[in-house]
């Protein structure tokens, strides 16, 4: 079964920086490579499925209404639970929260099984750095390797993208919608 997400793919500079961090964590901390086809991004929402035509129409309208904007990261974070996830925290500004709310309201009627982790009251925008085989030893290594790095970035966001994750094919960008210039 495929999982679909509405994301913003990072600009070239930060795309490359996240890939370099993934490589570092693999080489230095023994973490497995991020899933095949992983794309440096932050997610707005994840669902089992969407009505493709409705989503396409809404994203086209939203990008016409939205100019590129800046987001900032603010250090490392850890999602705890059955599976530890290490991430760069994206600062949830009022502008970002408002855009997320609009996207959520527009897509909710034609989405199947939207993840509650991405609901407006729960959403924590982030860029995943490690999500597989993160244990106490790996966590210690990650903190040693990344704890002193400058990870407070300011990035330009210029797109909504539909990303699909399939077991047989991995992750891929289905469609990318550029914000108005």
Pick the CATH number of 3-178 from 1.10.10.10, 3.30.830.10, 3.90.1140.10, 3.30.70.20: 3.90.1140.10
Q: List average pLDDT for each run of 10 residues in the chain, which is 181 residues long.
A: 87 95 92 74 95 95 94 94 91 96 95 95 96 86 92 96 82 91 78
- Mean residue pLDDT across the chain: 91
Could you identify the residue written with the tokens 């961090």?
A: 21
Q: Name every residue whose Cβ is closer than 8 Å to that of residue 46 and which is 6 or more positions away in sequence.
A: 3, 4, 5, 114, 115, 117, 118
Give the strands of the sheet with 41-47, arranged side by side. Answer: 41-47, 3-9, 159-166, 170-178
User: Residue 180 region, left (φ>0) first, then alpha (ψ -120 to 50), else beta?
Assistant: beta
* 154-157/69-79 β-pairing: antiparallel
Token reading at 155: 């990035």
As a whole number of angstroms, the distance between CA 26 and CA 24 comes to: 5
What is residue 37's predicted lDDT score, i.e. its pLDDT? 64
Q: Cα angle at 90 between 85 and 94, to 5 degrees? A: 135
């Amino acid at each position: 079964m495929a999982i679909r997400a509405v994301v913003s793919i990072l600009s070239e500079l930060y795309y490359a920086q996240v890939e370099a961090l993934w490589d570092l964590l693999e080489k230095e901390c023994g973490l497995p490579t991020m899933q095949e086809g992983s794309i440096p991004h932050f997610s707005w929402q994840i669902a089992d499925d969407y009505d493709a035509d409705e989503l396409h129409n809404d994203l086209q309208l939203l990008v016409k209404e939205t100019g590129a904007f800046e987001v900032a990261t603010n250090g490392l974070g850890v999602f705890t639970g059955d599976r530890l996830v290490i991430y760069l925290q994206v600062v949830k500004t009022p502008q970002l929260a408002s855009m997320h709310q609009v996207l959520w309201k527009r897509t909710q009627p034609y989405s199947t099984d939207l993840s509650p982790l991405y609901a407006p009251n729960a959403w924590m925008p982030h860029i995943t750095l490690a999500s597989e085989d993160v244990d106490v030893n790996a966590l210690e290594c990650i903190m040693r390797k990344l704890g002193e790095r400058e990870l407070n970035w300011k990035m330009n966001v210029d797109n909504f993208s539909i990303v699909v994750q399939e077991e047989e094919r991995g992750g891929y960008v289905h469609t990318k919608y550029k914000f108005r210039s």
